[in-house]
Structure 1
Amino acid sequence: MSDAGGDVTRAIELTPEHPPARMAELAARAEDRGFDIAFSSSHYFNRDPFATLSRMADATDEIRLGPGVSNPYETHPVKLAAQTATIDEVSDGRAVFGVGAGDRSTLSNLGVERDSPLRRVLETFKLAEDLWDGETVTHEGTFTATDASLNFEPPSASIPVYVGAQGPHMLRMSAKHADGVLINAAHPRDLEWAAEQIERGLDDRSPDRGSFESLAFASVSVAGEEEAAREAARPPVAFIAGGAAEPVLERHDIDREAAEDVSDALERGDLNEAFGHVTPEMIDAFCIAGTTETVAERFDAALEHVDGIVVGSPLGPNLEDAIDRASEALARATAD
């Protein structure tokens, strides 16, 4: 994994809960502050990530861009391949493809059954790679496509595929078949466990597949004041804690009843109550939160186990300030 040196990948998640024009400005700021990749998160209740990415492409020159992460349940995999290829075209070859199984509870709001998630994600990006290579594809598996093809070619020789993963099987699959993984975790304890699963997948990786990159897709909240950063972390931490598997709660010694209080409130749609049930221990386990100095120390610890970090939602109470502080924290964490 990373030696915390100059080769560390610096990425950021920009959530399109704001108008595309502002998202474009934030992407330009992230590029100016040295970030390598900007992911636009993909949830049905926010603005469309691909429309947002198009605006982000117009506002930037070098930063790579992609959904982080799209899922092949809300959108057919062939359509996802075409959308990602379009971003590659409008950005002059800077696209990446972030793909995962999606959030089960969110998909259930749409009446979507998240069946066979590992197979569906694998089949999705394998099909996308064939389409980007100009092939006509017929597929019968977790989804169907008959004589599907794109009538344009993305400028990239290959678009990197990053799989959003948390469980052991998805982590191993990504290491075996994809270009990178986005580990849904922020704590070194979880990242160390994930790295062990990834190593098992890499043992089965074909040499022809090329290099592999492991990124921590970490919830981050950074501000000038510790308490302000931790308060801003409550919403994402509530959703993480409310859906956390039993082994994850045990790994961090988080009270099961406290996590159930968060989960129950979320299911009722009482977000304020859910956020209020978030404990300091949950914030410590599921978010990198604090001042620039605190966050730099946490980044340094995380980089013992991964090749880079995606600075994920919420970023902080002030987005522009948080981008600047996160950049500074990464610079401190990766200083020789």
Structure 2
Amino acid sequence: MKTMKFGIGIIPQDNLDENIELIKLAEDVGFEYAWISHKSDMNMYQLLKAITLETETIKIGPGVTNPYIKNVENFLYEMIHLNNLSNKRTVFGIGPGNRKIMKELNRQWSNPVSTLKEYVQKLHESFEKKKSNIPIYIGAQSPKLLRISGEISDGCIVNASHPKDYEELLPHIQKGIDHSKKDMKDFDIAAYTPTSIDNDIEIAKNASKIVVAFIIAGCAPPLLERHDIPQEVRDNIYLSLSRGNIGNALRFIEDDLIDIFSVAGTSKEIIPKIDTLKESGVTQFIVSAPFGRQQNESIKLFEDVISSF
């Protein structure tokens, strides 16, 4: 069985130094990957370059961007330059985008799946011609995109925290891998997981509640059914959040919902949860917000978790 790798996923802040210090801390703790969300109002290349120059071992890349922000040629130049600058530490995560992002970009969101597939194929071809072996990950949730990720990418970034989800998702990835005549052992399945760690379990769980509430509010019926969550619970949470009544929304977040949509607890409690995901086929665990009550102190607590794998 493959070993578990660890990544950290961040939404970058406006203060460049804060982003750099956070990734440097993650590197010191033992994280192997840093995935930086691509905000439409930021210069991703400059941010990645700044982090690259201040780190030594951690792999760095967008996690994820989309095909509508830049054309292939621009991304190609930037990623190859970063890969040379970082001594081959660049990774590239890309997804289909969504309506919210398209509105921010003032772009029409048309044929997202075929657009993404064509974009990734062009990147692969160009990377090979330039002899720059940059791994490409596709951010995917739908069966079609999961299959495509298995077919044309080196890994898949999935927003899911529970083994039941991977029982449902992995067969679609396997279909793509089989179609391309690759081997699953060479494919990285990365679980982008809301994570909260603290020496006090209740503090860890409480920190995760707001993230879990927003996830449930956006859940489609099939996901609710998979985890036996009544539609009424989702509707109550959604209504509370839409009215700005966060306190009321959090009243509906019980421990079972925290366990379904996040990984929260002390180091001792988190380790077996990650191990269960590993047994389900996950090969990279990406720690994402909320991290815990105090971001930097929470990240430091992951040193013991990472060393256990």
Alignment TM-score, normalising by the size of structure 2: 0.88
Q: Is 2:46 the counterpart of 1:59?
A: no
Higher helix proportion (structure 1 or 2) = 2
- Structure 1 pair 272–89 and aligned structure 2 pair: CA distance change class (3 A): farther
Match of 2:246 among 264, 272, 278: 272
Pairing 1:38-187 to 2, within 5 Å after superposition: 38-44=34-40, 47-108=42-103, 110-133=105-128, 157-187=132-162
Deviations 1:238-297 (A, max 9, x none): 33222222111111112213223444555x483736853651243221111111112112
Contact 1:96–1:161 (Cα < 8 Å) also in 2 = yes
Distance in 2 (CA, whole Å) between partners of 1:265 and 1:106 is: 24
Deviations 1:217-251 (A, max 9, x none): 11111112222222222333233222222111111
Distance in 2 (CA, whole Å) between partners of 1:176 and 1:29 is: 35
The one-letter code of the counterpart of 1:117 is P
Specify the SS of the correspondent of 1:114.
Answer: coil
- Structure 1 pair 74–278 and aligned structure 2 pair: CA distance change class (3 A): farther
Specify the SS of the correspondent of 1:217.
Answer: strand
Q: For residue 14 of structure 1, what is the aligned residue in structure 2?
A: 10
Specify the SS of the correspondent of 2:68.
Answer: coil
Specify the SS of the correspondent of 1:303.
Answer: helix
Distance in 1 (CA, whole Å) between partners of 2:82 and 2:290 is: 24
Distance in 2 (CA, whole Å) between partners of 1:239 and 1:218 is: 14
Specify the SS of the correspondent of 1:13.
Answer: strand
> How far off is 1:178 after superposition?
0.4
The one-letter code of the counterpart of 1:85 is I
Deviations 1:63-105 (A, max 9, x none): 1100111112344444333333343233232110000123444
Structure 1 stretches of 5 or more lacking a match?
135-152
Deviations 1:131-165 (A, max 9, x none): 3345xxxxxxxxxxxxxxxxxx6xx6311001111
Contact 1:237–1:278 (Cα < 8 Å) also in 2 = no
Deviations 1:180-207 (A, max 9, x none): 1111101111122222222222211234
Distance in 2 (CA, whole Å) between partners of 1:331 and 1:323 is: 13
Distance in 2 (CA, whole Å) between partners of 1:273 and 1:319 is: 22
Q: For residue 215 of structure 2, what is the aligned residue in structure 1?
A: 240
Distance in 2 (CA, whole Å) between partners of 1:171 and 1:36 is: 24
Match of 1:259 among 234, 242, 246: 234
Match of 1:324 among 290, 300, 307: 300
Q: For residue 278 of structure 2, what is the aligned residue in structure 1?
A: 303
- Structure 1 pair 275–194 and aligned structure 2 pair: CA distance change class (3 A): same
- Structure 1 pair 178–223 and aligned structure 2 pair: CA distance change class (3 A): same
Structure 2 stretches of 5 or more lacking a match?
none
Which moved further from structure 2: 23-32 or 321-330? 321-330
Distance in 2 (CA, whole Å) between partners of 1:185 and 1:131 is: 31
Which moved further from structure 2: 209-218 or 232-241? 209-218
- Structure 1 pair 182–231 and aligned structure 2 pair: CA distance change class (3 A): same
Distance in 2 (CA, whole Å) between partners of 1:261 and 1:75 is: 39
Distance in 2 (CA, whole Å) between partners of 1:55 and 1:19 is: 12
Contact 2:156–2:188 (Cα < 8 Å) also in 1 = yes
Contact 2:20–2:54 (Cα < 8 Å) also in 1 = yes
Moved over 6 A (4+): none
**Percent of aligned pairs with the same amino acid:** 29
The one-letter code of the counterpart of 1:255 is P
- Structure 1 pair 169–93 and aligned structure 2 pair: CA distance change class (3 A): same
Q: Is 2:177 the counterpart of 1:202?
A: yes
Contact 1:40–1:52 (Cα < 8 Å) also in 2 = no
> How far off is 1:49 after superposition?
3.7
Alignment TM-score, normalising by the size of structure 1: 0.81
Count of matched residue pairs = 307
Specify the SS of the correspondent of 2:67.
Answer: coil
Tell me how large the CA RMSD over aligned residues is.
Answer: 2.7
Which moved further from structure 2: 251-260 or 291-300? 251-260
Which moved further from structure 2: 83-92 or 240-249? 83-92
